[in-house]
Every structure is written in C-alpha cells, then in structure tokens.
Structure 1
Amino acid sequence: MARRDDESRDGRNYGGLSKEQRVVQRQARLVDAALELFGTQGYAATSIERLCAVANVSTRSFYEDMGSREALLIALVNRQTTRAVDAALQALERTRDESLSTRVVESFHAYLAVTCRDQRTARVHYVEVVGVSQAVEEWRREQRRLLSALLIHEAERGVGRGETTPRRFDLFALAVIGAVNSLAQELVQTTLPDAPISLDEICDEIAYFVSSGLACSEVGRHSPRQGVRVS
C-alpha cells in the first residue's frame, strides 16, 4: 500500500528533505487546510480526518506534529495575527509624524486588511475562535493585551506631543478593540442582511470612534478616513 508523503518513519532525508523540514511542510499544509475548512465550514464542523485529507497528512502525523485540533486553530490565528501586527507596526512607522488619530486608524486599517483579507480569514479570526476552549480564550486575552499595549503607547506618546490629555488609556484601548472585534464580526455575520458592511465602512467608524475618544486640540482637524480600498 502506498504511503502518504509524510510517512517516512525515520530521520533520514526523504524526497530531498530532512525530517525537520518535512514536519514544517506538513504543519504549513495543515494550517492552510484549517484556513479553508474552518473559514468555510466552521471549526466545530471540521473533523481531524477531513483536515488530514485536505492537507494530505496522515492522522498519525497530525497528532505528532500538531497535537490537537485546538492547537491547529491557535497556530492558524497566530500566523494571521503575526502578519497583521507586523502590518500595523509598519503603518505606525509610516505615519509617525501624523496626528494621533491618523496613526491609530491607519494601524487598525493595516491590521484589518490582513485579518479580514477575505471571508475565510475574517470568520476564523473573529468568529470561530470565540468560546472554543480555555486555551483559545487565553490566546485571545493575550492578543488583547498586545494590541492594548500598542494603543496605550501611542496615546501616551500623543500626550507628550500635546495631542490629547492624560486619562485611563487602558480602558480606551479595550473599548477600541471591542468595537473593532464587533464590527469585524458584523462583516462576517451581518445582523441586517439588507445592510452589509465593508472594510471601508468599518475603518470610517473606527476613525470616528477614535477621534471622539481622543477629543482634544486636534478635534476638528481630523476627519474620518475616506477612500480606503482593500483588494
């Protein structure tokens, strides 16, 4: 019986790849399969057997390389989030001399352009990860802490530049993140079927929310972001 391409059982090179390289390839295929299946059928409706079939990986290798379906979900959202945070940091660097509201809005736009790149990524990142398990909830809390730290840093930098006044920016950061999450969920699961929303509209709402929340000397000079287009 022919074996799948992941089933060489020793540490020797197989197909020109070392054992470690084959593990990395299998993990990448599993994450890609998870994006497709979790993003279309949903996490709860996707079996390990189906994931393995799509990824061309044996169930034995799945448990050796990934451990569990829950660990695969975390690996998937970690991959997306790492790219999104990198994009947000690049946006902050590009706009370092712009107003505080502009920097915050541009960084969230860059973040959402990755996590909401298409319907699959948005569904996985904002819908399928909710309420899965304690481990996944801890991952979500850690992501909120990371994004909150970035927002707090930018707000405190804005205080130093005279763009806003001191306040509890930790609460402001959580409010912004909560609004972003809710709007992104609406992008996936529209509450009003006849009134779908776009990423452009989400960014406009974030701009209004941030401008109002940081109301200070810059109010009146900042207008909601217009003309944002994501391919």
Structure 2
Amino acid sequence: MGAGPLARRDYAGRSAADRRAERRERMLAAGLELFGTEGYAAASIERLCALASVSTRNFYEEFGSREALLTALHDRVNTTAIGAVREAFAALPEAGLVERVRLAVRTYLDVTVQDPRLARVAYVEVVGVSAEVERYRAGWRERWIELLVAEAERAVARGEATRRDFRLTAIALMGAVNELVHHWSVLGGITPIEDITREIARIATASVAD
C-alpha cells in the first residue's frame, strides 16, 4: 500500500525533517567558522560541505548559494538581537532614556559580539558582497531604524527629548555602532568591549536628548 503525501520515513528514530534540520545547522556552523575566521571570499562551497559533512547536493538543496548561507547567518544574529532588545525594553517600561539606551546597547552587543566570528560575519564579511546582499542588509537596517525612532519618540513623550525627525539620527547612530564594532572586530578585540559599549551609549543618549 503506497504511502500518503504526509508520510515520513524515520531512520534511527529521526524523521527526514529532523535530519534535514540537523544538516542545516551543521552548514550554518561551518559557515560561521569559515566566514568568521578566514573570511567569506576564502570559503568555497566544497570546503563548507567538507566541514559540515554534507554533500554539495545537500548544500544546494538547502541554501542554493554561499550568499544565501551568509545572509542566513546574518539574519539569525539580527533576529536574535532585535528580539533581545525588545524584551529588555519590555522588562523596564518605566525606565528613563539613559537607562534604556544603556540597556539596549549592552543587550545588542551581548548578542552580536559574544563570539568574534559572529561579529566578523555581521559587521565585516556581509558588507559589499553583492547588490542582492546589500538590498537584504537595507531591509534589516530599516527594522533597526524603526526601533530606534520609536524609542526616541518615547523619550519625547516622557519629556526627555525635543520632538523632531529622528530618522537621520537613527541612521547616524547605526553607522557609529557599525564602525565601532568593526574596529573592535578587525583589531581582534584589543579595545575592551566595555569601552565600545559606553561610547555607543554616550553617543546615543546625546544624539536623542540634544
């Protein structure tokens, strides 16, 4: 009797979907290791597959290209970071601007620079890869801009800032964050991350409250 369209095959207690998910995680781990240590340009699909112990067929079925793997890693770190910042804000609804800015910066950096490989992928390797990747980055930039503008407008409502268009402020702040963390990443963490955190919080607070 033939299997229906929803039937699945289990191997050693694992479904095909489970095994595919496991392969995907191995490929993401391989991408993080090679992109985050040797760089995107140096990581061929063959090397990625060898490190992940998957076939090139598996790779193309899951990602289709190295760019797709790179953006999947970038998407994961940004999704985690923006979720963590929103949760941190929600936990301190009555906190003032300075406290919330410091909390947001610390939370963001805890996610994005916890692993130097993540920082390199997020701030170095993903930049300038292709027009398509730049469009993808622009999409994430807009999400962060919306969050920053909303936080600035909250400060206005609390009497902590003067009402104005905060979009350019948000863009400038993102540029400062990117440059400072890029500096930290490229120099191998010589500058203490605590100094980076304090500087970003100082810039953010001053730019909104000005």
Asked if these proteins are the same fold (TM beyond 0.5), I'd say: yes
CA displacement at 1:98 relative to structure 2: 1.5
Q: Which runs of 5+ in 1 are unaligned?
A: 1-10, 217-231
| Superposed CA offset, 1:82-126 (max 9, x none) | 111121112212332111132123112211111111211111110
CA displacement at 1:211 relative to structure 2: 2.3
- Greater mean alpha carbon deviation, residues 15-24 or residues 75-84: 15-24
Q: Quick one: distance in 2 between partners of 1:63 and 1:118? A: 27
Q: Quick one: distance in 1 between partners of 2:105 and 2:144? A: 10
User: Partner of 1:86 in structure 2?
Assistant: 83
Compute the TM-score of the two structures, normalised by the length of structure 2: 0.91
Q: Quick one: distance in 2 between partners of 1:153 and 1:207? A: 17
Compute the TM-score of the two structures, normalised by the length of structure 1: 0.83
1:126 lines up with 2:105 in the alignment? no
1:65 lines up with 2:62 in the alignment? yes
Alignment partner of 2:107 out of 87, 105, 110:
110
User: Which amino acid in 2 is paired with 1:127?
Assistant: V
Alignment partner of 2:169 out of 169, 172, 181:
172
User: Partner of 1:99 in structure 2?
Assistant: 96
Q: Quick one: distance in 1 between partners of 2:142 and 2:63? A: 26
RMSD: 1.6
- 2:105 and 2:201 in contact (8 A); partners too: no
Q: Displaced runs of 4+ in structure 1, greater than 6 A?
A: none
Q: Structure 1 vs Structure 2: percent identity of aligned residues?
A: 48
User: Partner of 1:212 in structure 2?
Assistant: 206
Alignment partner of 1:67: what SS?
coil
| Superposed CA offset, 1:190-229 (max 9, x none) | 3xx9x9312211111112212221235xxxxxxxxxxxxx
| Superposed CA offset, 1:33-65 (max 9, x none) | 111111101110001111111111111111111
Structure 1 or 2: larger helix share? 2
- Greater mean alpha carbon deviation, residues 81-90 or residues 121-130: 81-90
CA displacement at 1:15 relative to structure 2: 2.9
Q: Quick one: distance in 2 between partners of 1:198 and 1:158? A: 29
User: Which amino acid in 2 is paired with 1:72?
Assistant: L
- Greater mean alpha carbon deviation, residues 122-131 or residues 111-120: 111-120
Q: How many residue pairs align between the two structures? A: 203
1:53 lines up with 2:50 in the alignment? yes
User: Which amino acid in 1 is paired with 2:129?
Assistant: V
- 2:81 and 2:107 in contact (8 A); partners too: yes
Q: Quick one: distance in 1 between partners of 2:202 and 2:164? A: 19
1:146 lines up with 2:134 in the alignment? no
Q: Which runs of 5+ in 2 are unaligned?
A: 1-7
- 2:101 and 2:205 in contact (8 A); partners too: no
- Greater mean alpha carbon deviation, residues 102-111 or residues 37-46: 102-111
User: Partner of 1:219 in structure 2?
Assistant: none
